[in-house]
Amino acid sequence: MSTAAATHDHHEHHPTGIVRWLTTTNHKDIGTLYLVFSLTMFLVGGAMALVIRAELFQPGLQLVDPGFFNQMTTMHALIMVFGAIMPAFVGLANWMVPLMIGAPDMALPRLNNWSFWILPMAFTLLGMTLLFPGGSPAAGWTMYPPLVLQTGDAFPFLIFAVHLMGISSILGAINIIVTIMNMRAPGMGLLKMPLFVWSWLITAYLLILVMPVLAGAVTMLLTDKYFGTSFFQAAGGGDPVMFQHIFWFFGHPEVYIMILPAFGVISQIIPTFSRKPLFGYDSMVYATASIAFLSFIVWAHHMFTVGMPLAGQLFFMFATMLIAVPTGVKVFNWVATMWKGSMTFETPMLFALAFVFLFTIGGFSGLMLAIAPADLQYHDTYFVVAHFHYVLVPGAAFAIMAAVYYWLPKWTGHMYNEKLGKLHFWLSAISVNLTFFPQHFVGLAGMPRRIPDYSTQFADFNMISSIGAFAFGLSQLILVYIVWSCARGGQKATAQVWDGAEGLEWTVPSPAPHHTFDVPPVVK
Amino acid sequence: MSNRMFRKLVAAWSAMIAGLAVAPFARADWEVNMPRGVTAISEEVYGLHMLIFGICCLIAVVVFGAMIYSIMRHRKSLGVQPAKFSHSTKAEIIWTTIPILILIGMAVPAADTLIRMEDTRGSDLSIKVTGYQWKWRYEYIDEGFGFFSNLAPEHNRARQLGSGIDPASLDNYLLEVDNPLVVPVGAKVRLLLTAADVIHAWWVPDFGGKKDAIPGYVNEFWFKPETPGIYRGQCAELCGRDHGFMPVVVHVLPQDEYQAWLAEQTAGVSIQPAVLTTQSDAPVVATAADVAPAEWTLEHAMAEGETLYNANCAACHQPNGQGMPPAFPPIAGSAVATGDVAAHIDVAVHGKPGTAMAAFGPQLSDDALAAIVTYQRNAFGNDTGDLVTPDQIAAVR
């Protein structure tokens, strides 16, 4: 890299302090911003989840008004989906995609700066509604009319915040696609790209296709509320169910937007710590693409109870069940990658293995939910809550944590504290199951979701779930400490970091210099 | 982090886990599975659920078994040298084909059940179910009567924030209503579901499913209960602040008892179902006792009005009339409740579009509305002295 460093002088006049972060166009800085923002939102959204779990600790209302409880469930979901999970993956993409494809930066650096800085504004708009006299939006993150139209002064803030989040996502996605399509190092054909890059390429297309749909849906809500339209109001000839169709046409691909990059992360980590190449690279790519395609034709499985025609229900049931095939291929490929490998179990690998186990459990409950007649029982119960938390917490969030531990030495130049990392893993893995596994039981036994109080028959499992949630929440403070201390110092990391690691990102020094790959590497 | 801190952390977590093990769990029945239910459909759904759960368990044993074996045996610490293979067309064909076959095996019985569930023909009894924020209305279409079904009053008192009433002191906490739906055993009951304000969902697990009640739609759902008894469920679609407090209770009666109940309803003797004898303190909610105009005194209207206000208005406007501004404005000292009587009646009867304030005209009788408006204008220090008569309500309908 000495030749590259010599050409760097003209870059060294960048500002320092807060102005550096506000004006930065460097993909590594912006990646860091995204990740720090995401961690902050993860803690804020988590605190809201703990309000929910504290109220549900026992039957009866002890702590909060039911209206405020609904605000918490709504804000928790919006913050976790749009503020924690999605920006974390965009942050990982910003940091790692250029490093993995041998590009000097993202293709559109100023756009990159903007797509990040829109996010804090969006969440300021959304978050400030907590201080409003009428409180925050409380109609659920799905924003179903007519209920959402009863929202008070928070309503336009909700809509504009969602618009801004959508713009941020679209700009980020455009940048990622342009970067991957145009800036790969010579010799890196599409089918030589690391799986993380592949899964982000596909995810970015999903984002561009569905975020405008969401924007359209919420704009129609806005005009229904303030401009006298009746898109979704039955009294004016509108159709409340149409909103659900539009929302879930966005919403189901959105689910995969939150999980495909996680698949990519896991497909990087398992080969590294198995010291064996990824099994079935091509089929992994095709499976990811199949999942993305199928995500567009399964949306109404979120709506089996709205009274669809039989033919519609059958179609959406069959299409949904099909998703199990490519998803199964991915899981089998990960297991086959481990098979006859030479495994070690550092923290990233532990999180990746937990991902495979627990995401698969979420996949099983997903398959059960696909069965329309049974879904009429499961729908809107804690069984669904358990299902999507299994795929999002020990699924997406664990994959993000795995990625952070995996690449942290590359980012900071220091090894994190392995002992604390393992402690964080075990506490998280145990408490996440303690939190969400009993929710399967209460859901099957008949507890609806989104209720602040419940019949005494559900009491004990809810108590266990709440204890698990507090344990999980507090365990994440260990992660904050590990990242903070790793950024400040620690054992020096080598360029390679992990002895089984392969790929361009491991050819640059640790920490990765501010500018990398000024001269493109050649991939053989 | 020092070793001492590390040990302390471990100790703290261990204490928490130990505390969990000895925590007193006495309340719940530890139910972990879906009920079999009391209809042929619910039994089928239960069977499907168990079938698919079983298949998932088998797949889990194979996949997790292979993974755990690999984790145990294929580790560097055992001196294993990594193999070099990275694909196998044969394996990939096998693990694509077998899941497809398994899925077909699941899809066939599922489609079969779904087709039967959707067949609403040949029903013996049709009941229109309307969801309101936050109660249900049941109308027996052919028999020409109907009633509202609210969370039972003692449960409503217990569920208030900081009520001090132990939920365990009530049977079926939050799953009890004042007026249950009553149906005969063995009859195919067809529900026609709609809603007056926002989307709700009608769900009794023992009947094998739920269906949304949507404004502007009439959805169909049917069940044919095979065993007499009391079956409970809840609204299953987020419908606002008191979504958790609009239970569904269905009394399935033997044919003769049902006929007796029906005769009582249609004779107009009372709108209270006979089976409510178990809850003697349940008030009449939907109607005030009809009285001759001469007896319509301020005292009478206030007494009726207080009961009705607490059943219909207090969830939002609060028993003390302070409301929860700005979503739910106060009645106490409000411009509406102390100003023009006609405007006040208009809001009560027609609601306020674009807000959670429902139109109570279709829900309550003239007497009931007159009593409520009178109460609101004289309680909470409003003291207007206005007596609103049922005629005034009738005039604006």
> Counting runs of H as helices and runs of E as strands, what totals does chain B give?
11, 10
Minimum CA–CA partner of A485 in chain B: B1
Centre a 10 Å sphere on the Cβ of residue B281 and count the other Cβ atoms it contains.
Answer: 9
Q: Report pLDDT digits (tens) over B326-371.
A: 778 888 888 888 888 888 988 888 888 777 788 888 778 788 888 8
Query: What pLDDT shows up at residue B307?
Result: 80
Query: What pLDDT shows up at residue B364?
Result: 80
Q: Which of B165, B174, B216 sits opposite A455 (nearest CB)?
A: B174
Task: Provide the sign of the torsion angle of the four alpha carbons A255, A260, A262, A263, taken in this order.
Answer: positive
Query: What pLDDT shows up at residue B268?
Result: 58
> Sorting pLDDT into bands at 50, 70 and 90, what band is B10?
low
**Is A422 labeled as catalytic in the residue annotation?**
no
Query: What pLDDT shows up at residue A11?
Result: 54
Of all residues in chain A, what percent carry a pLDDT higher than 90? Answer: 94
Query: What pLDDT shows up at residue A339?
Result: 95
**Is A267 labeled as catalytic in the residue annotation?**
yes
> Given CB atoms, is A52 within the 8 Å cutoff of chain B?
no
> Sorting pLDDT into bands at 50, 70 and 90, what band is B15?
low
Centre a 10 Å sphere on the Cβ of residue A476 and count the other Cβ atoms it contains.
Answer: 19
**Is A302 labeled as catalytic in the residue annotation?**
yes
> Given CB atoms, is A386 within the 8 Å cutoff of chain B?
no
- Kindly state the helix (H) or strand (E) to which residue A101 belongs, with its residue range: helix A86-101
Q: Which of A66, A234, A306 sits opposite B244 (nearest CB)?
A: A66
B132 or B364: which leads in pLDDT: B132
Quote the minimal CA–CA distance from A339 to chain B in Å.
Answer: 6
Which residue, among A282, A218, A285, has the nearest Cα to A250 in the 3D structure?
A: A218
DSSP codes of every residue in B182-201: EEETT--EEEEEEESSS-EE
Q: Which of B53, B74, B154 to mutate to test the interface with A (most CBs of A within 10 A)?
A: B74
Q: Which residues of A touch B190 (CB under 8 A)?
A: none
**Residues in chain B, how many?**
397
> Given CB atoms, is A426 within the 8 Å cutoff of chain B?
no
Q: Which residues of A touch B194 (CB under 8 A)?
A: none
* Contact present, A424 and A471 (Cβ < 8 Å): no
Minimum CA–CA partner of A449 in chain B: B236
Query: What pLDDT shows up at residue B12?
Result: 56
Copy the structure tokens of residue B212.
Answer: 């949304």
Quote the minimal CA–CA distance from A180 to chain B in Å.
Answer: 25
Whether residues A427 and B324 touch (CB distance < 8 A) is answered with no
Quote the minimal CA–CA distance from A12 to chain B in Å.
Answer: 35
Q: Which residues of B touch A342 (CB under 8 A)?
A: 74-76, 80-82
**Is A282 labeled as catalytic in the residue annotation?**
no
Q: Which residues of B touch A55 (CB under 8 A)?
A: none
Q: Report pLDDT digits (tens) over B237-265.
A: 999 999 999 999 999 999 999 999 999 88
* Distance between start and end Cα atoms, chain A: 19
Three-state DSSP at B231 gives strand
> Given CB atoms, is B198 within the 8 Å cutoff of chain A?
yes
| DSSP, res A57 | T
Q: Looking up tokens 């679609």, which residue turns up?
A: B237
> Given CB atoms, is B117 within the 8 Å cutoff of chain A?
yes
Q: Report pLDDT digits (tens) over B176-223.
A: 999 999 999 999 999 999 999 999 999 999 999 999 999 999 999 999
Query: What is the CB-side half-sphere exposure of residue A521 using CA atoms within 13 A?
Result: 19
Instruction: Collect all residues with Cβ–Cβ distance below 8 Å to A376 and sequence separation of at least 6.
Output: A304, A305, B45, B117, B208, B209, B210, B211
Three-state DSSP at B113 gives helix
Average pLDDT, chain B: 85
> Given CB atoms, is B86 within the 8 Å cutoff of chain A?
yes
Whether residues B159 and A453 touch (CB distance < 8 A) is answered with yes
Minimum CA–CA partner of A450 in chain B: B238
Catalytic residue of the set A28, A225, A276, A301 = A301
Query: What pLDDT shows up at residue B284?
Result: 38
Q: Which of B80, B211, B354 sits opposite A342 (nearest CB)?
A: B80
Task: Provide the sign of the torsion angle of the four alpha carbons A84, A86, A87, A88, taken in this order.
Answer: positive
Minimum CA–CA partner of B87 in chain A: A280
CB contacts under 8 A, A 158-217 vs B, are none
Please say if the pLDDT value at position B18 is more than 70.
no
Catalytic residue of the set A24, A274, A320, A327 = A327
Query: What pLDDT shows up at residue B396?
Result: 84
| C-alpha angle B362-B364-B365 in degrees, rounded to nearest 5 | 105
Task: Report residues of chain A scoring pLDDT below 50.
Answer: 1-9
Catalytic residue of the set A184, A302, A379, A440 = A302
> Given CB atoms, is A421 within the 8 Å cutoff of chain B?
no
CB contacts under 8 A, B 96-115 vs A, are 96, 99-100, 103, 106-107, 110-111, 113-115
Q: Which whole number is the average pLDDT over B72-78?
A: 94
Q: Which residues of B touch A248 (CB under 8 A)?
A: none
Chain CA centroid to CA A3, Å: 38
Q: Which whole number is the average pLDDT over B127-140?
A: 95
**Is A449 labeled as catalytic in the residue annotation?**
yes
> Given CB atoms, is B22 within the 8 Å cutoff of chain A?
no
Copy the structure tokens of residue A463.
Answer: 């108590």
Query: What pLDDT shows up at residue B105?
Result: 94
Minimum CA–CA partner of B5 in chain A: A420
**Is A330 labeled as catalytic in the residue annotation?**
yes
Pairing of strands B189-195, B125-132: parallel
Q: Looking up tokens 């408490």, which residue turns up?
A: A431
Minimum CA–CA partner of B210 in chain A: A376
CB contacts under 8 A, A 69-98 vs B, are 70
> Sorting pLDDT into bands at 50, 70 and 90, what band is B1?
very low
Q: Which of B107, B175, B240 sits opposite A147 (nearest CB)?
A: B240
**Is A14 labeled as catalytic in the residue annotation?**
no
Whether residues B326 and A310 touch (CB distance < 8 A) is answered with no
Q: Which of B20, B44, B327 sits opposite A67 (nearest CB)?
A: B327
Quote the minimal CA–CA distance from B386 to chain A in Å.
Answer: 31
Centre a 10 Å sphere on the Cβ of residue A94 and count the other Cβ atoms it contains.
Answer: 30
**Is A105 labeled as catalytic in the residue annotation?**
yes
Burial of B178 (0-12, 13-18, 19+ CB in 10 A): buried
CB contacts under 8 A, A 332-361 vs B, are 332, 335-336, 338-345, 353, 356-357, 360-361
